[in-house]
Amino acid sequence: MKKYKFSTLVTEIVMLLICAVFVIPIYYLVVSTFKTQVEIIESPLGLPSSLNLANYARALEGLDFFGHFFNSLLITSVSVVLIVVFGSMAAYTIARNSNRVTRFLRSYFLIGFMVPLQTTLLPLFLIMKNLHLINTYQGLIFLHSNGAVFALFLYTGFIRAMPRDLEEAAFVDGASVLRTFWQIVFPLLRPVTATLIIFNTIWIWNDFLLSYLFLPSADKATLTMQVYNGVGQYYTDWSIMMPVLVIALLPMVIFYLFMQRHIVSGLTTGSLKG
């Protein structure tokens, strides 16, 4: 039997404690979904007296899950598509044309990417108000599409490392730049595209700040906003709120479990290419 060193034992104990810090809130959240309001308050970490599924039925009824799920799905899917399309096309132009204009554009986007969003909220709100994009799906999608700037830098390093042989052969055969990009270059960008889709989907789906400021209407609210709207000022029924939180988190948990293998492969491939 292999003997543990003292340092190894201490390291494993510390790791278990850190793991507990992350696991206990998840355990508390899931277990509380089967409890009554009284049980949640009296025994926060205790097991429920019975497996009460009525909380989930009440949560689905009060949350209007499918309506707000559609709102989140619409905003997230359209925003991610725009990020991938515009980010990849802009990156291809900058990566394959090194001149004064593209270098200026790259620096311009870099400066914009470095500015924190919170410092520009006031002028951004005024611009959106003047454009009549407040409380519209289009406005929020427009704001989330700024993730194309990050996509541009990720795609640029990837494209620059790609050989031009296939593209030159396509040009010789009479293919246009647009056709060459979509039929030859873009399919080769699949690993980094998968990574961008994963990160941006999780970010946009869980976004609270932009949804709170620019989409205040209750009927257009995303799932994240609906969870916030369910918290009362003076009283909150936690026997309903806990299942609401689980239901709101479940789509992204399922999405991450299906897509997690693409995260490491995409980043690894991108780093090797860059």
| Tens-level pLDDT at each residue, the chain (274 residues) | 456 677 788 888 889 889 888 888 888 888 888 888 888 888 888 888 777 788 888 877 777 778 888 999 999 999 999 999 999 999 998 988 888 888 888 888 888 778 888 888 888 899 999 999 999 999 999 999 988 988 998 898 888 888 888 888 888 888 888 888 898 889 888 888 988 898 899 899 989 889 989 998 888 888 888 887 766 544 567 778 888 888 888 888 888 888 777 666 555 554 444 4
Q: What confidence score (pLDDT) does residue 101 get? A: 87
| Same domain membership, residue 39 and residue 74 | no
DSSP 195-245: HHHHHHHHHHHT--HHHHHH---STT--HHHHHHHTS-SS---HHHHHHHH
| Same domain membership, residue 174 and residue 93 | yes
| Same domain membership, residue 261 and residue 164 | yes
Q: Decide if 30 is inside a domain.
A: yes
| Same domain membership, residue 65 and residue 44 | no
| Same domain membership, residue 73 and residue 47 | no
Q: How far apart are CA 117 and CA 147, in angstroms?
A: 12
- Count: domains in the chain: 2
Tokens for 190? 């699949």
| Same domain membership, residue 240 and residue 116 | yes
| Same domain membership, residue 91 and residue 201 | yes
Nearest to 88 by CA among 28, 172, 144, 151: 151
Contact by Cβ (8 Å): 196, 154:
yes
The domain of 144 spans: 60-273
| Same domain membership, residue 257 and residue 128 | yes
Q: How far apart are CA 78 and CA 95, in angstroms?
A: 25
Q: How far apart are CA 186 and CA 200, in angstroms?
A: 18
Cα 136 to chain centroid distance, Å, stands at 20
Q: Decide if 1 is inside a domain.
A: no
| Same domain membership, residue 13 and residue 105 | no
| Same domain membership, residue 162 and residue 126 | yes
